Chain A
Amino acid sequence: MPGLPLRMEGPMAIDSDVLVVGGGMAAITAAIAAAREGADVRLVSHKASTLRQASGLIDALGYVPATEPAKPLREGPPTAGRELDRDEWPDPEGPLADPFEAVDRLPESHPYRTVGADALREGLDLFDDLAGDAYRGSHTDNNALLPTFGGSVKPTARYPAAAEAGLASDDRPALIVGFRSLTEYDARAFAGRLEAAGVPFDVAGAEVEFAEAFRADTKVTRIAKALDHDEAIDGVPAREALAKAVAPHLHDAVDEAGGVERVERVGFPAFLGDDRGDAVRAELADRLGADVFEIPMGPPSLPGLRLEDRLYDALDDEGVRFETGNPVVGVETEADGAVETVAVDRKGRETPYGADAFVLATGGLVGKGLDSDREGVSEPVFGLHVEQPADRYEWFVDDAFGDQPYARFGVRIGEDGRALDADGDAAYENVFAAGGIVGGADAAREKSASGVSLATGIVAGRQAATEATK
C-alpha cells in the first residue's frame, strides 16, 4: 500500500567481525577457521544445509580429467535432434592414488592451483579435528576406494567409520544386502557391477525381506529411526528382525573354484540408524558374525545428515552464531571499496547485517550460489564477476561427459581467497569466496567437491579473520 509512513529510524545492523554466507562444507570450514583466529563469526544460510544431500564422503581429488578433446571440436552450434559426430574425449587420469601429487597437473585456473596443495592438507586436518572418530582415512595421504550406491568404486580421502568395512581394497568376501522397496538400488546388480569393476574380493547380492514390514514408500528416515530405537517389527525387535532376514544369505558368495564361501562382511544401504548408528552396526555384526558396513547413498542421505549434525554442533562449540531460514539478497552499503553491510531478506523486509569481512560460500550452479538465465550466469549476492563465454553455445560441449565449460563457471579468487573482478584485482577489499561458488574446478568429474570446499574454506576463513581483526 503506497503512502504508509516509514519508520523514522532504520534498523541497526546486526554486526559481527566475519559474516559467512552459506551453510555447506565450505561455509562451515570458513566459519570455524575464522573463529579459531579469534574472530566473532556469524553464519547465515538461506536453507537447511545441503550436506543432507551429500554422500558424506570427503573427496579430495580422484581424477584428473582431460581438458582437451581427442580431436578438435566441430565448428558451429550444437544441434539437438541431429545426428552428427559427437566430440570425443580421452578418459580421465585416475583413479588417483595420491591426490596431492596430482594437483600440479590440474589446469592453472583450478582452485587447488590457486590456494595450493598445502591448503587442501590443512583443510583436511581441520576436518579430521571436527569429525573425530566418526571418520577414517586420515592415516594416509592416499585415497581410499569405496563402493558407492551406483555400484562403482570411488576414490575418496575421508569416509565415515560406518563405511570402513566396505573398502574395495579389502579382499574379504562380501554380501551386499538390498530391499525390494528401495527401488533405486538393486543389490544383485550392484554386486555384479562391483565384480565387473574387478574388485579383489568375492561378492554376492541378496534382496531380503525386512523393509516389507513397512509400506513400499516408507522413508529411509523411518527405517533408521526404527533401528535406532530397536522398535518391534511384527513383534520382533528391528535389529534382530533385520539380522534374521540377512542370515540365510551369509553363504551366497561363490569363490573362484565355484565353492560356497561364508562372507566376512555385509553391506547395507546407509540407513543403519541415525543417532545410534554405532550401536545398530555393532549389534548386527554380533548377530551375523560378520563386519557390517554402510554403502553411501544419494539423497536422502543419512551419512550426510549425520555429518551435518556433527558440523553444526562444532559451530556451536566454536562459538559461531548461525541462523538458517532467510537469504542474503545483496550488498546494502559499501565504502572505500569495501562492503559494510549486506541485506538479509526476512520474509519480505530487508535487514542489514554488518561485518568487517565477508565470506561467500553459497555453492555453484546446483547449490544456487550462481544464477543463470538466457543472458548469462551471475553471482547474485555481491554481484561478483563470473567469467563465461559471451556466446552461450560455448557454455557446453556435445558430449555429456566431456569437459563442460559451465562446470568450471564461478567466481575467481586470489591466493588469499579474495574474490576477483574481471581484471584480476580484488573485487572488494573484504570479500572472500570459498567452495562451489569458486570457479575453475570440475568437481563432478574430478571428485573434488569436498576438498575444494575445505581448501578454499580454510584460506577464506583465516584471511577474513585477519582482515576483520587488523
Chain B
Amino acid sequence: MTRHTDDEDANEANGANEMDGDDRDEGEPAATPGVPEAGRDEQPSIFVPDDGAVEGADSDLAADPTADRAATDGGVESATGGSDSTDLDPDAYDPVDVFPGGDLDLRDGADSCYKCTSCDTSCPVAEVDEEFPGPKFQGPEQWRLKRKDDHDIDESITSCSNCMRCDDACPSSVPLSQMHNEARGQFVEEQMEKLSREYVRNRILSNYRFFASIASKVPRLANAATKIPGAMKLGEKVLGIAGDREFPDFATQTFREWWKARGGAQVENPDKRVAYFHGCYSNYNTPEVGKAMVRVYEHFGYEVMVPPQKCSGTPMFANGMLKDARRHAETNVENLVEAIGEGADVIASCTSCSLSLRQEYPELFDIHGIEDVSEHTYEALEYLRINEDLEGELAGTELADEQAFAYHAPCHARNQGLSRQAVETFRDVDGVQMEDVGDSCSGISGTYGWKEEKYEKSMEIGAEMFDHMEDAEGDVGMTECPTCAMQMEHGTGYEVEHPLQLLEETVGA
C-alpha cells in the first residue's frame, strides 16, 4: 500500500492559486481513471448567496407563493366566516403543504424553534460578550430576517465562534450551526470588504494549511521566526492576530513525510481497512498524534491508508470562507470516497475534522459522494470502542509511570456524543487517573481566540477550564482537539496529550 503515500504538498507550495479563489490547483492530477466523478460538482451547491432569485421551473411559484397552495380552509373561501358550519369537513381542515419547499429551505428548522433559549444559555460567547445576541438570534431569527431582500446579515454573526454547542443544546433539533454557517458565508461573500484587514486576517487564519505547508518546508526557520522578539506584536499590529499567543511549532518531519519514509502501511488486511484523515495539525505540528494513530490501529490489525487530503474546512466555516472550504472538500471527498470504495472507513484524530466531515459537509455542500463520506467517518477512539473489545484489551493493563490527566472534552466532541469517551476508556487502566475538568468551553474555538479583538474574551471563556485544570490532580492535560490543546497549554503551561498517545503507550503498540 504505497499508492496513498503520494505527497500532494509538492503541488502546492509553489501554487499560489490555493488562495486566489480559483477552483482548483493546476498541479493536481486529474481524477484517477475508473473512479466515477466523485468529488466534483454534479449539482449546484446547497450554499448559494441568497439574493431572492429562484431559478427554473420554480420561478412561477416563487413569484406567487399562493399559486400552488393547498387548500387550508376545508374548501371554503374564508376560514373565519362566510359559510355555514355544516359545510366544514374536519378531514380537510388542517393547514398542510402551505409553503413551497426545496433544498435551500431551512423553514422547517426555523419553525421547530419554540424559543426555549436553551441555545443561548449554552453559548460560551454570549456568557462573556454582551454585544453578541446569541444563537437564537443568529439562527432562526436572523434566518427569518434575511428572507427579506432588503435585510443585511447582522455583523454580529462574525462573533460566533462556531463551537456548535447550541446544536447539542437544542431540544428541538433546530439546525442552528447550519443556519450560522450559511448566514456567515453570505455575510462574508456579500457584505465584507475584501480588502479589509479583518477579511485578509480571517482568510489567513482559515487557510492555516496553506501557510503551514510552506512553513513546514523550513520548519526551523519558521519556528525561529515566530520567536523573534516583536514578531507576534507585529502580527497583531499589521494583521490583528493575537500577539499574546505562542505560535505552534512546526515539526521537522511532517506526518506524511514520516509515513512515506516508513514505507506506508505495515499491515495489509482487506477486511479491516481505515483511511486516516489526519488533518493539518497532526501533519504539520503534532505528527506524534498521527504516528500514535497508525501504531494503535496497526496493533489492532487494521490496514491504514493515508489518502491525499486537504483542510477539513473547520476554520473556513468559522470564518465564512465557504468557497475555500468547498474547494478543499472536493479533494477530500474524492479521495475519501475512493478509499471507502476499497472497504475503508474514514478515521479522524481531531474531533473538529470528524465533525466537519460528518455534519457540516452534507449540510453545506452537495458534492457527489459526500453523504457516503459523512456516514463512514468516525473519530479514532470512538471507532475502536465500537469495533474492538477495547475494554477487554485494557483490562489489567498498567501504565508504567503513574500519571494523572486533566481531561477537557472539546465542544465538537460533545456534539458527536464523545465527551466522556476518554474518561471511560482509561477508567480501569492502572496507573492512569483521568479527571474530567467539566463541561465549559476552552474558549479558543479554533481561530476565534487567535483574533486580537477576541483574545481577552477567549481567555475569559477559558478561565473556568483553567481553574478546573489547576484544581485537578493531574499536571498533564488531555484532549482530542489541537486548538483546545493550544489553549490548555497557553492557560496553564501544562503539556497536553491526545488520548491516542496514551492508548499507544497503554496497549504497547
Name A residues whose Cβ lies closer than 8 Å to a Cβ of B.
1, 4-5, 7-9, 11-12, 14, 44, 47-48, 50, 52-53, 77, 79-82, 214-215, 217-222, 225, 229, 275, 299-302, 305, 309, 312, 316, 321-326, 344, 346-349, 351, 367-368, 374, 393
Contacts and interface: CB of A to CB of B under 8 A. Distances in A.
B128 A305 contact: no
B334 interface: no
A7 B340 CA distance: 10
A79 B116 contact: no
Nearest to A351: B386
Nearest to B382: A346
Given A4-B340, A47-B170, A222 B358 contact: no
12 contacts: A8-B271, A12-B389, A48-B122, A52-B169, A82-B85, A222-B126, A299-B121, A323-B420, A325-B419, A326-B416, A348-B375, A367-B171
A47 B414 CA distance: 10
B289 interface: no
A124 to B, nearest CB: 26
Contacts of B382: 346
A275 to B, nearest CB: 8
A215 B137 CA distance: 14
Nearest to B119: A300
Contact of A324 (B80, B137, B271, B417): B417
Contacts of A12: 386-389
B415 interface: yes
Contacts of A11: 386-387
Contacts of A393: 90
B385 interface: yes
Contacts of A302: 121
B343 interface: yes
Given A305-B121, A346-B416, A47 B168 contact: yes
A107 B416 CA distance: 42
A4 B341 contact: yes
Given A219-B134, A347-B416, A348-B371, 12 more contacts: A1-B337, A1-B372, A8-B271, A11-B386, A47-B169, A52-B121, A81-B81, A229-B463, A300-B120, A323-B418, A348-B375, A349-B376
B374 interface: yes
A79 B129 CA distance: 48
A53 B414 contact: no
B90 A299 contact: no
> How many interface residues does chain B have, given as a range?
35 or more
Contacts of A52: 118, 121-122, 169
A47 B118 CA distance: 11
Interface string B430-455: 00000010010000000000000000
A5 B126 contact: no
Interface string B74-94: 000001110001001010001
Nearest to A79: B85
B120 A219 contact: yes
Contacts of B378: 346, 349
Contacts of B129: 222
A47 B90 CA distance: 36
A169 B464 CA distance: 38
A50 B171 contact: yes
Given A7-B343, A215-B130, A323-B419, A368 B171 contact: yes
A347 B372 contact: no
Interface in B332-363: 337, 340-341, 343, 345, 358-359
A312 B123 CA distance: 19
Nearest to B387: A11
Contacts of A323: 417-421
B172 interface: yes
Contacts of A53: 116, 118, 171
A11 B272 CA distance: 12
A80 B88 CA distance: 10
Contacts of A81: 79-81
B120 A221 contact: yes
B123 A77 contact: no
Nearest to B81: A81
Nearest to A50: B171
B127 interface: yes
B385 A14 contact: yes
Contact of A346 (B172, B417, B424): B417
B369 interface: yes
Contacts of B340: 4
B386 A14 contact: yes
A53 B171 CA distance: 10
A214 B134 CA distance: 14
A219 B166 CA distance: 14
A299 B128 contact: no
A14 B417 CA distance: 14
A301 B121 CA distance: 8
B131 interface: yes
A180 to B, nearest CB: 15
A441 to B, nearest CB: 20
Contacts of B94: 374
Given A7-B345, A14-B386, A222 B128 contact: yes
A324 B414 contact: yes
Contacts of B421: 323
Interface string B202-226: 0000000000000000000000000
Contacts of A275: 464
B398 to A, nearest CB: 21
B343 to A, nearest CB: 5
A289 B268 CA distance: 76
Contacts of B345: 7
Nearest to B36: A1
A48 B130 contact: no
Nearest to A44: B417
B128 A225 contact: yes
Interface string B102-131: 000000000000001110111100111111
Given A81-B81, A222-B126, A325-B415, A5 B343 contact: yes
A437 to B, nearest CB: 14
Contacts of A351: 386
Interface in B33-83: 38, 79-81
A52 B122 CA distance: 9
Interface in B110-164: 116-118, 120-123, 126-131, 133-134, 137
Contact of A219 (B123, B341, B415): B123
Interface string B365-386: 0000101101111100010011
Contacts of B81: 81
Contacts of B424: 321
Interface string B382-404: 10011111000000000000000
A225 B440 CA distance: 13
The 3 closest A-B pairs by CB, nearest first: A325-B417, A300-B121, A326-B417
Interface in B258-272: 271
Given A5-B343, A299-B117, A48 B168 contact: yes
Contacts of B337: 1
Nearest to B337: A1
Contacts of B127: 219, 221-222, 225
From B85, B118, B121, B416, residue with most partner A Cβ within 10 Å: B121
A348 B414 contact: no
A322 B420 contact: yes
A434 B200 CA distance: 55
A166 to B, nearest CB: 22
B118 A48 contact: yes
A44 B90 CA distance: 40
B36 to A, nearest CB: 8
A405 B123 CA distance: 37
Nearest to B134: A219
B170 to A, nearest CB: 7
Nearest to A315: B420
Contacts of A215: 130-131
A302 B130 CA distance: 17
B372 A4 contact: yes
Contacts of B418: 323, 325
